[in-house]
Each structure stands twice: as C-alpha cells, then as structure tokens.
Amino acid sequence: MDSEITRRSLILGSLALLTSGCTSTGREWGAPRFSAYNMHPPVDRRYRRQRVRYDTSQPAGTIVVDTSQRFLYAVEGNGWATRYGVGIGEEGRTVKGMATIGRKADWPAWTPTDDMMRRKPRLVKYAGGVPGGPNNPLGARALYLYRGGQDTMLRLHGTNEPWSIGTAVSSGCIRLTNDDIIHLYERTPVGTTVLVM
C-alpha cells in the first residue's frame, strides 16, 4: 500500500511540475544554464567551433591564433584544423610570436595584475583574487602561455562574457567560450606550441 502511494505521489508530483512550467535551471553548482551558442546575444555564427580545411606549415598539434581574423586553429594535419572563435586583447595588448602551454587549470582562480589595476582602477577590488567558478573572468579552463620557461601572464581561457567573442576587449589574453575552451583543453597537453600572429 505504501509503495502505491509513493508511486502515485511521484507521478502526480511530476505532472504538477510539468504543467506548472517549472524546470531545472541547470545552474546547480554554478553551472552555466545554456551553451554560449544559445545565449542572447548569441555568439556570432561565424565564430562557432567547426572543423575546417587549413593549410599551414605548422605541424599537427600546434595551436595557431590569427588575431586579425579572431580565430584559433588547433592544427590536425593533412590540411585540417578545428577552428574556434576568440576574443583578443585590446589594441596593442596581445603579444605575438611563439609560446608553449606551460600549465593547465580547471576553473582557474584569477588575480588582476598591477598593470591591469592601474589601467582599470575598478579592478582594485579584486586585488586579493577571485576564486575559480562561473563568476571568474577566466571561465571554465585556462591554458597558461610560457616563454623560455617563464609564465607570460597571458592565457588561452574561457569567459563569463561569451558575447565578447570576436572582439578586441581583453588585457592581452585570448578568450574562448567556456564550451570551446573545455573542448580545446581536453585535446591540448602541456608542452603544446602556440603561435600567435
């Protein structure tokens, strides 16, 4: 008898939820509710991740960032790459040339640099750092760019502002949607060569 009441209660409770329009928000533990591609304003269609023909002299496994076109290419070889839309640094802030992925972080913490706080005093309130999570400007993942074994302080990272993909807005880092940085992160080992041009 008790099991029938429980089963009946569950069925009626489920129907009530369906008819009331209540659904899970998808925001448990701070998870983003929607893919960046479905947000309003959505990421421009041309910046959506896709596999493309890409002829380059760079070997398979290299990451190439084309700042003028706002694309990042994960070179696969044989004339193919996975292309991601990116946001880049404000004029003169994105460093060009070769680097290496020296470290990776899942939901990285962020602390603005002294230079960032001088240029944007509103960032001083974050001088103590921001823990990893959905409100962190580095988003879901970060790939740290190193040169000569030293951290450049520049990153390939996610963003909590997906509408900024395709723009020149950062302090020098290359940003991707959280969906895309997770995709890239899972396929990119420490030691990967990155060419920013």
Percent of the chain with pLDDT over 90: 61
Q: What is the average per-residue pLDDT within 56-81?
A: 97
Does the annotation count 40 as an active-site position? no
Rounded to whole angstroms, the maximal C-alpha distance in the chain is 73
Range of lowest pLDDT (6-20, 71-85, 168-182): 6-20
Task: Output 191 or 137, whichever has higher pLDDT.
Answer: 191
Q: Please report which confidence band the pLDDT of residue 52 belongs to, taking 50, 70 and 90 as the band edges.
A: very high
Task: Output 92 or 170, whichever has higher pLDDT.
Answer: 170
Q: What is the pLDDT of residue 158?
A: 96
Q: What is the pLDDT of residue 36?
A: 52
**How confident is the prediction for the chain on average, in pLDDT?**
82
Report how far residue 72's alpha carbon sits from residue 69's, in angstroms, rounded to the nearest whole number.
Answer: 9
Per-residue pLDDT for 51 more than 60?
Answer: yes
Q: Where are the domains of the chain?
A: 40-196
**Residue type at 73 in one-letter notation:** Y
Cβ-count burial of 1 within 10 angstroms (0-12 exposed, 13-18 middle, 19+ buried)?
exposed
Q: Are strands 168-170 and 88-89 parallel, antiparallel or unpaired?
A: parallel
CA nearest neighbour of 194 among 134, 140, 152: 152
Report how far residue 87's alpha carbon sits from residue 90's, in angstroms, rounded to the nearest whole number.
Answer: 9
Report how far residue 108's alpha carbon sits from residue 117's, in angstroms, rounded to the nearest whole number.
Answer: 19
SS3 content of the chain, % helix, strand, coil (to 5): 25, 30, 45
68 Ramachandran zone, left/alpha/beta (phi>0; psi -120 to 50) = alpha
Q: What is the average per-residue pLDDT within 100-104?
A: 98
Q: What is the pLDDT of residue 42?
A: 73
Percent of the chain with pLDDT over 70: 79
Range of lowest pLDDT (29-38, 81-90, 167-176): 29-38
Task: Output 46 or 14, whichever has higher pLDDT.
Answer: 46
Per-residue pLDDT for 4 more than 60?
Answer: no
Report how far residue 14's alpha carbon sits from residue 53's, in angstroms, rounded to the nearest whole number.
Answer: 48
Topology of domain 40-196, CATH: L,D-transpeptidase catalytic domain-like (2.40.440)
pTM for this model (two decimals): 0.77
Does the annotation count 22 as an active-site position? no
- Do residues 185 and 141 lie in contact, with contact meaning Cβ atoms separated by under 8 Å? yes
* Model confidence pLDDT, tens digit, residues 6-35: 444 333 333 332 322 322 223 333 344 445
H or E stretch including 104? strand 97-106
Task: Output 24 or 103, whichever has higher pLDDT.
Answer: 103
Distance of CA 184 to the CA centre of its chain: 9
